Amino acid sequence: MRAPKDTERLPAPSLLQLIWLASPALPVGGFSYSEGLEAGVDRAGITTETIASNWLVDQLHLTLARGDLAVVAKAIAAWRRGDLEHLGELTAWVLQTRESSELRLQTGQMGQSLLLWLRNQATASQPQFEACAQMPPTYPVIFALAASATQASVRDCLLAFAFGWAENMVQAAVKSVPLGQNAGQRILARLADEIPSAVDHAMGLMDSERQAFAPMLAILSSQHETQYSRLFRS
């Protein structure tokens, strides 16, 4: 296979920015949410590595690829061309499709935390911050703002978003099933293999084709609100 030329490579600052945005150490609180997984352990029989792995792969393709990844793709393009009307529409869609108070809390809290983090960086402009003040913060749209400042392609940005999600979810599985670290790494390897196709699917979706239909996940998320013993906020 021919090695890419230097001119084809993502500039180091942009690559490092994407790695930073995908890091579980980013202070946005992603580690504190399980997105229904903890309730699935309690009520849906997620008790083994295989079941947890299958659950997360399904969640990647059925919810993330058809929803948030597609939003991030559209939002990056909207931020880059300054289309505030479209950004408002994407924000409204994210909020309208969060089917439980926990899921709505997650996207709002993580979006607000990422926005605060961005204020300490030199990537977003004052007009962009002023635009953010006109709409509720949601994590996919604010992530897109952070990613849009890089020279990365939309696809590379989505790969970073998806891998950051995968790392957080695998750690949630390790803690709540519970699983060993080696099992967690096997699940993460499987998700890494699946992420490119999920990203490609998301990039091919038009606004009218996004979906947020995961009724069992919504039920589990609602049940988690009153679950007796919990490690996570969702």
CATH of the domain at 62: 1.10.4190.10
Count how many domains the chain has. Answer: 1
Residue 206 within any structural domain of the chain: yes
- The residue-averaged pLDDT of 30-34 equals 92
Residue 90 within any structural domain of the chain: yes
Nearest Cα to Cα of residue 201 among 90, 95, 67, 91: 67
| Rounded Cα–Cα distance for residues 106 and 28 (Å) | 10
Residue 24 within any structural domain of the chain: no
- The residue-averaged pLDDT of 87-99 equals 97
pLDDT band of 2, cuts 50, 70, 90: very low
pLDDT at position 6 over 80: no
Flag the least confident range among 16-25, 139-148, 184-193: 16-25
pLDDT band of 229, cuts 50, 70, 90: confident
- Amino acid of residue 137: P
| Rounded Cα–Cα distance for residues 115 and 66 (Å) | 24
Residue 43 within any structural domain of the chain: yes
pLDDT digits (tens, 9 = 90+) for 147-187: 999 999 999 999 999 999 999 999 999 999 999 999 999 99
Residue 156 within any structural domain of the chain: yes
Structural domain boundaries, residue 179? 35-220
Residue 80 within any structural domain of the chain: yes
Residue 101, Cβ neighbours under 10 Å: how many? 12
- The residue-averaged pLDDT of 90-98 equals 97
pLDDT band of 130, cuts 50, 70, 90: very high
Residue 234 within any structural domain of the chain: no
pLDDT at position 1 over 80: no
pLDDT at position 210 over 90: yes
Q: Is the dihedral of CA 147, 152, 155, 161 positive or negative?
A: negative
The pLDDT value recorded for residue 8 is: 59
The pLDDT value recorded for residue 5 is: 41
The pLDDT value recorded for residue 9 is: 80
Given phi > 0 = left and psi -120 to 50 = alpha, else beta, which region is 206? Answer: beta
pLDDT band of 82, cuts 50, 70, 90: very high
pLDDT at position 3 over 70: no
Residue 227 within any structural domain of the chain: no
Q: What is the mean pLDDT of the chain?
A: 93
